[in-house]
């Protein structure tokens, strides 16, 4: 279990993807392991986690990012996005800062973390720390469950989220 007493601010971990498309749902499994490591129950498949926010480290799983998350993000100092990727140039487990300055502010049907944080900055005049942890997906067929290569990255992704989270939050 993680010692939340070392935290200085609040973190929201937002996993997103489609659990019916194999590895596209990897964030659901990451959120499950993360929640268990924080002493919380896993989300049921019909739950998002939005109904139980209020901790030092909160986690949610959604099918996609939407503008209504802006009000939710307003209560946090840090946001960690978790998603699958298919970019052959990235490591299988990739962590990067979200860069709102590089996102367009136009509304679209496909919202990226950069876009969401750019809108947040424009509306709230505040820039919380934001990063994305992305896990390489190998199989996006219509089925539930992860490929073995992607499943192997779930626990390391959680360790990456918590290690970086706690390293940033330790009191001097």
Taking the alpha carbons of 125, 63, 95, 161 in that order, is the dihedral positive or negative? positive
- Close Cβ partners of 145 (under 8 Å, ≥ 6 residues apart): 22
Q: Name the nearest CA neighbour of 30 among 128, 116, 134.
A: 134
Residue 9's pLDDT is 86
| Beta strand 11-16 pairing with 57-62 | parallel
More reliable by pLDDT, 103 or 26: 26
- Write the pLDDT tens digit of every residue in 144-163: 999 999 999 999 999 999 98
Query: What gap in Å lies between CA 86 and CA 108, rounded to an integer?
Result: 21
Query: What gap in Å lies between CA 48 and CA 50, rounded to an integer?
Result: 5
Helix (H, G, I), strand (E, B) or coil at 66: coil
Residue 84's pLDDT is 96
Q: Which residues pair with 136 in a beta bridge?
A: 85
Residue 101's pLDDT is 73
- Write the pLDDT tens digit of every residue in 38-91: 999 999 988 999 999 999 999 999 999 999 999 999 999 999 999 999 999 999
- Write the pLDDT tens digit of every residue in 103-140: 665 555 588 999 999 999 999 999 999 999 999 999 99
Residue 106's pLDDT is 59
Task: List, in order of start, the domains of the chain with CATH numbers.
Answer: 8-169 (3.40.50.1450)
Per-residue burial over 38-59, b = 16 or more CB atoms within 10 Å of its CB, e = otherwise: bebebbeeeebbeeeeeebbbb
Please state the pTM of the whole predicted model: 0.88
Query: What gap in Å lies between CA 119 and CA 140, rounded to an integer?
Result: 29
- N-to-C CA span, the chain: 22
Residue 10's pLDDT is 94
């Amino acid at each position: 279990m993680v010692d939340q007493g070392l935290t200085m601010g609040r973190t929201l971990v937002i996993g997103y993807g489609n659990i019916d498309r194999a590895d596209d749902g990897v964030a659901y499994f990451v959120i499950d392991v993360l929640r268990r490591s924080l002493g919380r129950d896993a989300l049921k498949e019909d739950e998002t986690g939005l109904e139980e926010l209020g901790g030092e480290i909160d986690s949610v799983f959604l099918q996609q990012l939407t503008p209504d998350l802006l009000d939710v993000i307003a209560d946090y100092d840090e946001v960690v996005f978790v998603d699958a990727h298919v970019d052959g140039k990235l490591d299988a487990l990739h962590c990067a800062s979200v860069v709102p300055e590089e996102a367009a502010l136009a509304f679209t049907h496909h919202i990226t973390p950069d876009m969401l944080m750019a809108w947040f900055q424009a509306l709230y005049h505040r820039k919380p720390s934001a990063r994305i942890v992305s896990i390489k997906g190998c199989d996006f067929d219509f089925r539930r469950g992860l490929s073995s290569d992607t499943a192997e990255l779930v626990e390391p992704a959680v360790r990456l989220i918590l290690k970086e989270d706690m390293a940033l939050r330790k009191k001097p």
